[in-house]
Amino acid sequence: MNPKCKVVSSNRLRTGLAICLALAVLAGPASPSRAATNDLFARGLELSRAGQFPEAAAAFGTLARTQPSAGTLVNLGLAEWQRGRAGAAILAWEQARWIDPFDPRAGSNLKFARQVAQVDEPQLKWFEAVSACLPPNAWVWLTGAMLWLGVGLLVLPGIFRRRMAGWHQFLAALAFGIFLFSLTANFGVVSRTEIGFVLKKNASLRLTPTQNGEIVSTLAAGEPARQLRTRGHYLFIRTLGGAGWVEQNEFGLLCP
């Protein structure tokens, strides 16, 4: 074997080991956290199986606050539903679908819950419906990638003194097209953050943000609404039936 080749091979091996070590160091601190997450998740599952739904909901709720995941939120919704809190369950499943729009459990449970609770789905505008096709963060990465891909395809051949080929232009056009399309989806994502759900049964929708405010109507648990503004402990929301003020603890936003 050529000695030069041996030296090159040795260098590559050393570099590979260094990269692996660096990755291990970077991944190391996350391991205890992941273990704790798994422990809490397992505990929540165990409590659910034992029928201790309030305790299970507390465990999944804690986990969902620290490290939201689709599975945790699905299970949180199940525990909340089992303890009779339809609003909180629907919110949890919507959040699970927010993280992973392709989660079959969340979608199925939402349909079931809305049929039982007789509440509607949130009315989405077309760009919001589009944004619901992918996870919210996927859209923003897609937008950034397409923008810079298009820019790169237009700029880099000139810089590197390559002739701009036809496929360069085609790809650039495609990238800019996807970029423009994803912009609307991103707007839909931001717009969907205003959507929330009524948590308590028969929550009062008031005319004014006061305790003694006139009650415009009562809202069913799980009813969707959009938060428009805040005043003190009250939120001004718009539901399918009208607008009014609800107490902050009676309404849960999709993205708190």
Residues in contact with other proteins by CB under 8 A are 37-38, 41, 45, 48-49, 53-55, 58, 63, 67-72, 74-75, 78, 81-86, 89, 95, 98-100, 103-105, 108-109, 111-117, 135-137, 139-141, 144, 148, 151-152, 155-156, 158-159, 186, 189-190, 193, 200, 249, 254-256
Residue type, 20: C
CB of 13 to other proteins, least distance (A): 31
**Minimum CB distance to other proteins, residue 167 (Å):** 21
Nearer residue to other proteins within complex by CB, 39 or 214: 39
For the bound state, the minimum distance from the C-beta of residue 29 to other proteins, rounded and expressed in Å, comes to 14
219 neighbors 203 (Cβ within 8 angstroms):
yes
Q: Are 89 and 113 in contact (CB under 8 A)?
A: yes
Burial class (CB in 10 A: 0-12, 13-18, 19+), 15: exposed
38 vs 208, which CB is nearer to other proteins? 38
- CB closer to other proteins out of 68 and 216: 68
The alpha carbon of 201 is separated from its chain's Cα centroid by a whole number of angstroms, namely: 25
Interacting residues of 77 by C-beta distance below 8 A, sequence separation 6+ = 88, 89, 90, 91, 92, 93, 96, 106, 109, 113
Nearer to other proteins by Cβ, of 13 and 164: the residue is 164
**Nearest Cα residue to 79 out of 43, 133, 30:** 43
Least Å distance, CB 189 to other proteins, is 5
Nearest CB to other proteins, comparing residues 16 and 54: 54
197 SS3 class: strand
Q: What is the DSSP letter of 118?
A: T
What's the half-sphere exposure (Cβ side, CA atoms, 13 Å) at 248? Answer: 7
Cβ at position 129, least distance to other proteins in Å: 16
Cβ at position 6, least distance to other proteins in Å:
31
- The residue to which tokens 């620290």 are assigned: 66
Q: How many CB atoms lie within 10 A of CB 117?
A: 18
Q: What is the nearest approach in angstroms of other proteins to the Cβ of residue 231? A: 20
Residue 140 CA to residue 134 CA, distance in Å, equals: 10
Closer residue to other proteins (CB): 178 or 243: 178
Shorter beta-carbon distance to other proteins: residue 48 or 239: 48
